[in-house]
Structure 1
């Protein structure tokens, strides 16, 4: 049972902090603005940085589920708004899953704490999460060294049941504002954030391993 709980904890913690990493970066207006300057989005869209900033504010509010289609429709056409509605739904499911996996993680860690299984908790956090580092680094290298568009397309085919995400860069503002390079950078930032969270958890794990050893010596 302990082994099963350890595996569940590794999975639930990993998914919880992956989703936190996604949210932190998807809601980070600063990254959007920096990318607008970097990729010369003002020229691409014909809109100045102040207007782009206002549109970005509305996008972030919408992704958080705090706004309806009306906050996007002044800027985007019907197809773009319908796609963003799908994205908003995806983020809503992501938030629900984050809370579920977070609660599962807290319950299991609380159980280990109640049973005074400090060493087991420590090993789960430090050694168990190490595999995630390896997998994540491999994925980041894959993104850097291969065709990002291929995996971006696969992602959309998995998570969206329609082709509304296929936008026209000549006419659709959404893809003009958020080109492929934007999402490559976003993926890298999410991966880096996730690595940092995993590293912190591993440090906590090492602490609990030492705590468990000290108890055993007593």
Structure 2
């Protein structure tokens, strides 16, 4: 392979590293948005108030808040179990609900692990771009970040449209994809958990997650594209990808 071929091969490899790093970081950012919304207690309070959830569940507001805090603490590993006895001695959460939350906790912990590894691996790939081809790295990074982010955004935009058009179909498909049992099928007549988190609650949560993520991703992708075009226009060689 001649010198030109080696240069092109090196540039192509750097582009691949930048694209892979971008996808990892953007997907990790999506998990960060999910975690940020899912554990925002003010969001729960607002939704409960709008939907009059305490009355629907059949408990007082303090009991509902305690049940929510116990659930969130359990998912984050800050509580050993979902055991929560009410004043009459009855367990707030049923055994089926507790079993389902074991699966949800495992899913969340795996997502957090992916987020951590994704941010670290993505950052390492970007660092590798600069070490491999320093004189072209910034332009390669900006261009690949823009296009890889656009690709991921398109995927999440499609998910958002699906959820907006038919949330029930989206939500059922989500559970079939990530759970191997039917413990998530809860009866509102007997399950306090399903009455706490009605379809409208989850629809609002998904909408908020998508709003956070799309705002951050669109903003960063637009910034990368603008900086790349401006630097290229001014003829800065470190911003070209040739």
Superposition TM-score, scaled by structure 2 size: 0.82
Indicate how the Cα distance of structure 1 residues 31 and 70 shifts in structure 2: closer, same or farther if over 3 A, else same: closer
Equivalent of 2:217, from 180, 198, 202?
198
State the shift of 1:78 in Å: 0.6
Instruction: Find the aligned partners of 1:104 and 1:208 in 2 and give their Cα distance.
Output: 24
State the shift of 1:204 in Å: 4.5
2:202 corresponds in structure 1 to 183
Contact 1:121 1:208 in 2 (8 A): no
Q: What is the SS of the residue equivalent to 1:144?
A: helix
Equivalent of 2:168, from 128, 149, 166?
149
State the shift of 1:45 in Å: 1.0
Q: What is the SS of the residue equivalent to 2:236?
A: helix
2:104 corresponds in structure 1 to 87
Matched, 1:174 2:186: no
Instruction: Find the aligned partners of 1:193 and 1:119 in 2 and give their Cα distance.
Output: 27
The gaps in structure 1 that reach 5 residues or longer are none
Instruction: Decide which moves more: 37-46 or 130-139.
Output: 130-139
State the shift of 1:108 in Å: 1.4
Q: Aligned-residue CA RMSD in angstroms? A: 2.1
Indicate how the Cα distance of structure 1 residues 92 and 125 shifts in structure 2: closer, same or farther if over 3 A, else same: same
Superposition TM-score, scaled by structure 1 size: 0.90
1:118 corresponds in structure 2 to 138
State the shift of 1:217 in Å: 8.2
State the shift of 1:15 in Å: 1.3
Contact 2:57 2:192 in 1 (8 A): yes
2:40 corresponds in structure 1 to 28
- Structure 1 consecutive aligned stretches of length 4 or more whose deviation exceeds 6 Å: none
Q: What do the CA deviations read for 1:168-195 (whole angstroms, capped 9, x no partner)?
A: 1011110010011111111111111111
Instruction: Find the aligned partners of 1:94 and 1:132 in 2 and give their Cα distance.
Output: 17
State the shift of 1:72 in Å: 4.8
Instruction: Find the aligned partners of 2:82 and 2:49 in 1 and give their Cα distance.
Output: 27
Q: What is the SS of the residue equivalent to 1:176?
A: helix
Q: What do the CA deviations read for 1:103-131 (whole angstroms, capped 9, x no partner)?
A: 11110122233424111111122232122
2:148 corresponds in structure 1 to 128
2:237 corresponds in structure 1 to 216
Instruction: Find the aligned partners of 1:130 and 1:159 in 2 and give their Cα distance.
Output: 25
State the shift of 1:43 in Å: 1.5
Indicate how the Cα distance of structure 1 residues 71 and 208 shifts in structure 2: closer, same or farther if over 3 A, else same: farther
Instruction: Find the aligned partners of 1:131 and 1:43 in 2 and give their Cα distance.
Output: 44
| Rg larger for | 2
Instruction: Find the aligned partners of 1:6 and 1:198 in 2 and give their Cα distance.
Output: 16
Instruction: Find the aligned partners of 2:45 and 2:161 in 1 and give their Cα distance.
Output: 26
Instruction: Find the aligned partners of 1:20 and 1:124 in 2 and give their Cα distance.
Output: 22
